Amino acid sequence: MVHLPSPPPGRTAGAPAPDTPTLLVRGVHKSYGHHRVLGGVDLELPAGCLGGVVGENGSGKSTLLRILAGQMAPDRGTVSYAGRLGYCPQHTVLNPSFTVEQHLRFFQVAYDLPDLALAHELLETLAFTGYRRHRVGALSGGTRQKLNLALALMHDPPLLLLDEPYQGFDWDTYERFWELAAQLRDRGRSVLVVSHIAFDTTRFDRLWRLEQGRPVLVSTSPGSGR
């Protein structure tokens, strides 16, 4: 989980103006040597939108997400977002010696939160309240991913970036994840899911496929206004 207390160069963050997208990406390019990975990415995610980006391995999904999260600078182009950002990476960045509760308290300080009310609510929503005192090193991959997701959400960010967020989830947790995503959307939060495949395409308001380094809009939710 990465917390961005202030936007890196090339990004702006703050209170959104009326009709301003929560996430706005314009003309993002990225190459590794002579190999072009992203060739002019344009994306727009309004408030209260559940978006998805899919693509084959090597299509540039991880590079795009790292740029959006501020972990990597684009060669050119801009990324702007409104307010705080929540980021849930594919590979959990957790301390195996810490308990679940210790992780929550660590991030409470990092986010400057008055309490852990929302965090504990997320534990209940994702059905792992009973693991609060368990050390992360003893948890299954799916349970670690639940904690990863809770850490990304516990400061209630307007924008959430999720990299393969349901990896390792059983069916019940998979359904709980989508219920939570829908609740976030209904509360005006914007969620972007990046995955190699999307089985439930109807769950998204907007779905793009990365092709030759550019996102192609493949579906929108009819009548959603998004």
Q: Looking at residue 27, which CATH number applies to its domain?
A: 3.40.50.300
Residue 68's nearest CA partner among 193, 153, 165 is 193
In a domain, 47, yes or no: yes
Note whether 84 and 155 are within 8 A (CB).
yes
In a domain, 36, yes or no: yes
In a domain, 130, yes or no: no
Into how many domains does the chain fold? 1
In angstroms and rounded to an integer, the radius of gyration of the C-alpha atoms of the chain is: 17
In a domain, 70, yes or no: yes
Q: Any idea which residue has 């999720």 for tokens?
A: 162
Distance of alpha carbon 18 from alpha carbon 144, whole angstroms: 37
pLDDT of residue 91: 77
In a domain, 4, yes or no: no
Domain extent, residue 62, equals 20-83+192-220
pLDDT of residue 198: 67
DSSP letter at 18?
A: T
**Strand 76-81, strand 23-32: pairing:** antiparallel
Q: Measured at the alpha carbon of residue 79, what is the angle toward residues 195 and 111, in degrees to the nearest 5?
A: 80
pLDDT of residue 52: 93
Backbone torsion region of residue 80, taken as left when φ is above 0, otherwise alpha when ψ lies between -120 and 50, otherwise beta: beta
The gap from C-alpha 168 to its chain's centroid, in whole angstroms, comes to 16
Distance of alpha carbon 195 from alpha carbon 216, whole angstroms: 15
* Mean per-residue pLDDT pooled into runs of 10, the chain (226 residues): 34 48 94 93 94 88 92 95 88 88 95 94 92 94 91 94 86 90 92 82 90 87 49
Q: Any idea which residue has 């400061």 for tokens?
A: 155
DSSP for 48-91, written as a single string = T-EEEEE--TTSSHHHHHHHHTTSS--SEEEEEESS-EEEE-SS
In a domain, 63, yes or no: yes
In a domain, 72, yes or no: yes
In a domain, 137, yes or no: no
User: Longest Cα pair distance anywhere in the chain, in angstroms?
Assistant: 50
